[in-house]
Each structure stands twice: as C-alpha cells, then as structure tokens.
Amino acid sequence: MSDVFENAQLEDEEEEESLDEKYLTFMLGEEEFGINISFVTEIVGIQAITFVPELPIFVKGIINLRGQIIPVIDVRLRFEKEEVEYNDRTCIIVLQLKDLSIGFIVDSVAACDQIPNESVIPPPIAQRNYHQKYVSGIGKIQDKIVLILDCEKMIMEDMGLSMEAV
C-alpha cells in the first residue's frame, strides 16, 4: 500500500514540475508573451464589458462570467501600446491568483508551450522600459523568443492590491 502512495506522490510531483515549465503564450501585435499555465483557469472570447469609473485606463471594466464578476485588464494598454479594435481573435485569458480571478484581454492566444527552465534567462535590466518590471524571464523556443510575465506583480503592484486583502 505504501508503494501505491509513494507512486502517486511521485506522479503529483512530476505533474507539478511539468506545469512549472508550461506556458500559455499569447500575442500583442508581433510580440509573444507567456503566462505560467498554473495561473490560467480558462480562455473565453471577448464579450460585453461593463465600464467601472475611476479605474486605471488599462482596466477596461468587469465581465459577468457564469455569475462570477471578473475585472478585465487590456494587456495592450497596460504595456502602453496602441489601442486596437477588438476582433474575433481577441480573447480574455482568465487567471486565478489566490482568491482573485482576473481577465487579461489579449490580441490572440498562440499556444501552450513547454519551455524548460534551462531555456529561460533573466530579462535585461532596463530602467526606462516601464513594462520590463513585469517580465520575469525570456524563454527561448527554437528560433522564437517569449517574454514570460510575472502575473502577481503585474496585477497586484499597479492596482494597489495586496494578496492578503483578497
């Protein structure tokens, strides 16, 4: 019986390790970004967004997703990129950070990629590039580069939220 328990525990650890190296990649224009798959709960098409006054410009408002109210951030605006009209490829990546659900509006979802830890390097230090502080690493997949985002920093720091308060 203990062998079964040990095998199950090893499988859980292997699954956790493999999730650590899996990223949902998405596009903003020509740039590809990645979010660790462990944060992603679902991907939904763009839908009606209710405007909420007095929020930062990049917080587009809230959506009602099967009875759950979720704030949505336009990642393009968060990174001070040009605003574009939403289309049929635009989608919302719903993330779960502790007890907080939040949606990221992106141009399109690219793939779910395995990026081994040894293929991820730290981002270069750049003081003037504002969104650089949200990039936790740069992943290399064959001949393409994926900027890996630190979701917790991106959401909590600029929205003035505390993980304890959520």
Per domain, the residue ranges of the chain are 2-159
Confidence (pLDDT) at 155: 76
pLDDT tens, residue by residue, 30-69: 999 999 999 999 999 999 999 999 999 999 999 999 999 9
**Encoding tokens for residue 2?**
């203990």
Phi, psi of 124 (to 5 degrees): -65, 150
Residues of the chain with pLDDT under 50: 1-2, 4-5, 7-15, 129-131, 161-166
Q: How far apart are CA 147 and CA 71, in angstroms?
A: 23
**With contact defined as beta carbons under 8 Å apart, do 45 and 59 qualify?**
no
CATH of domain 2-159: 2.40.50.180
Please report, for residues 41, 45, 59, the alpha-carbon distance to residue 103 in angstroms, rounded to integers and kept in the order given.
Answer: 10, 11, 10
Confidence (pLDDT) at 159: 55
**113-144: string of b/e by CB count within 10 Å (b at 16+)?**
bebeeeebeebeeeeeeebeebbbbbbebeee
Q: Which residue has the tokens 């740039």?
A: 31
Query: Strands across the sheet with 120-121, in order?
Result: 108-114, 22-28, 31-36, 144-149, 135-141, 120-121
**With contact defined as beta carbons under 8 Å apart, do 49 and 72 qualify?**
yes
